[in-house]
C-alpha cells in the first residue's frame, strides 16, 4: 500500500485536572481527580511543581467525628462498668439483708431459749451453753467428733 494511503491512528484522551495551589509558594498546578482521591485516602505526600512536599491531612470535620466516636466508645464502656457495679452493689445489699434477717431470727430464738447448736429449748440457756457448748468438756466432745468448737 502506498504511503499516501496509510491511515493515521488518532487517539483522544481527556483528563480532568483539579486546580490547586501550593500552600508554601502559591503556585497554581493541576492534579487529576483519581490522583487526588488516592492521596487523600493514603495520606502519602506529593510535590508541587516548585518541589514543595504536600499531603492531605484529615479535615477538621473528620477529626471531630473521630473524637466523637472515641468519646462515644468511652461512654459505652463507662455505662457497662456502671451497670456491672450496680449489679454487684445490688447483690451485696441483698446478701447483707439476708444475713441481717438470719441474725435477727437467731437472736429471737436465743431470747426465746432455743439453743443455736442443738435446737432444743431450755429455761436457762446460758447454763446449757456453758455446760454443753462452751465448757472444757464440750470443747473436748466437739474436737473428738471432728467438729470445730463453737
Instruction: Please write the tens of the pLDDT for every residue from 112-132.
Output: 888 888 888 888 888 888 888
Burial letters 50-81, b for 16+ CB under 10 A, else e: eeeeeeeeeeeeeeeeeeeeeeeeeeeeeeee
Q: Is 119 left (phi over 0), alpha (psi -120 to 50) or beta?
A: left
The DSSP string of 121-150 is B-SSHHHHIIIIIISHHHHHHHHHTTPPP-
Q: What are phi and psi of 14, to 5 degrees?
A: -115, 130
Using the 8-state DSSP alphabet, how is residue 51 labeled? Answer: -
The residue with greater pLDDT, 58 or 113, is: 113
Q: Is 146 left (phi over 0), alpha (psi -120 to 50) or beta?
A: left
**How far apart (Å, rounded) are the C-alpha atoms in residues 100 and 106?**
10
Instruction: Work out the pLDDT band at 139, boundaries 50, 70, 90.
Output: low
pTM, entire model? 0.44
Q: What is the pLDDT of residue 117?
A: 85
Amino acid at each position: 500500500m502506498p504511503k499516501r494511503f496509510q491511515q493515521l491512528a488518532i487517539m483522544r484522551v481527556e483528563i480532568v485536572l483539579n486546580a490547586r495551589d501550593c500552600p508554601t509558594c502559591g503556585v497554581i498546578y493541576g492534579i487529576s481527580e483519581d490522583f487526588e482521591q488516592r492521596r487523600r485516602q493514603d495520606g502519602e505526600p506529593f510535590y508541587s511543581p516548585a518541589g514543595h512536599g504536600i499531603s492531605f491531612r484529615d479535615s477538621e470535620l473528620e477529626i471531630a467525628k473521630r473524637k466523637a466516636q472515641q468519646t462515644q466508645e468511652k461512654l459505652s464502656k463507662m455505662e457497662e462498668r456502671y451497670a456491672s457495679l450496680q449489679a454487684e452493689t445490688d447483690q451485696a445489699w441483698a446478701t447483707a439483708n439476708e444475713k441481717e434477717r438470719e441474725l435477727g431470727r437467731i437472736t429471737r430464738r436465743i431470747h426465746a431459749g432455743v439453743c443455736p447448736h442443738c435446737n432444743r429449748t431450755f429455761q436457762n440457756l446460758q447454763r446449757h451453753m456453758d455446760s454443753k457448748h462452751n465448757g472444757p468438756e464440750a470443747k473436748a466432745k466437739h474436737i473428738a467428733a471432728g467438729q470445730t468448737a463453737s
